[in-house]
Amino acid sequence: MPRLLAESVIRDVPDFPKPGILFKDIAPVLQHPAAMAEVVDLLAGDARAKGAEVIVGIESRGFIFGAPVALALGLSFAMARKLGKLPHHRVSEEYALEYGTNTVEMHTDAIDPGQRAYIVDDLLATGGTAAAAARLVERLNGNVCGMGFLVELTFLSGRQNLLGYPIRSLIEY
């Protein structure tokens, strides 16, 4: 498969945000409109193929890629936000981090019952975040029809936490 423009510009930042983590910095993709267009096009193609009816973006880099995918397909966009950010009626799901927990939330009216939801984030690591977003969709009686990521860190086996969900990642490390 030919190398994506995005792959040639994603920057490795060692020891961020803490020692031992190799951070995949996607900011240069946003500075490169052709790379961005390629990413949005590929994720939109996968979401369309999965029959998506709503795109769910995970805060915050999932918003950057998810919103243009929704727009490209003429679909609504739903936010899965960090704890305490959403003002209206919401559902919450907690997930484990290496130390402690995090929580993501969605507005209860973000998804219609039975709707096919495609979840977008920039990067799949352990899969904990995406699994929590999937639980939110399911608590709202939506169906997760697929998940799309710009980057997958395959050595962390995130797919093991997302069994049963069709996953598309554009770049694997």
Is the CB of 66 or the CB of 158 nearer to ligand AMP? Answer: 158
Instruction: Calculate ∠ Cα 100-104-106, nearest 5°.
Output: 165
The H or E element containing residue 36 is helix 33-49
Residues that bind ligand AMP (CB under 6 A): 21-24, 58, 61, 121-129, 158
Instruction: Calculate ∠ Cα 166-171-173, nearest 5°.
Output: 105
Shortest separation between residue 95's beta carbon and ligand AMP, angstroms: 7
Residue from 38, 53, 81, 98 carrying the catalytic annotation: 98
Quick check: is 116 catalytic? no
Q: Is the dihedral of CA 82, 84, 86, 91 positive or negative?
A: positive
Is the CB of 9 or the CB of 53 nearer to ligand AMP? Answer: 9
Quick check: is 105 catalytic? no
The H or E element containing residue 117 is strand 116-124
Q: What is the DSSP letter of 2?
A: P
Shortest separation between residue 171's beta carbon and ligand AMP, angstroms: 12
Residue from 59, 61, 90, 116 carrying the catalytic annotation: 61
**Cβ of 16: how many Cβ atoms within 10 Å?**
12
Shortest separation between residue 112's beta carbon and ligand AMP, angstroms: 25
Shortest separation between residue 74's beta carbon and ligand AMP, angstroms: 26
Is the CB of 48 or the CB of 138 nearer to ligand AMP? Answer: 138
Is the CB of 26 or the CB of 53 nearer to ligand AMP? Answer: 26
CB within 8 Å of 44: residues ≥ 6 apart: 68, 69, 72, 73
Residues annotated as catalytic are 61, 98
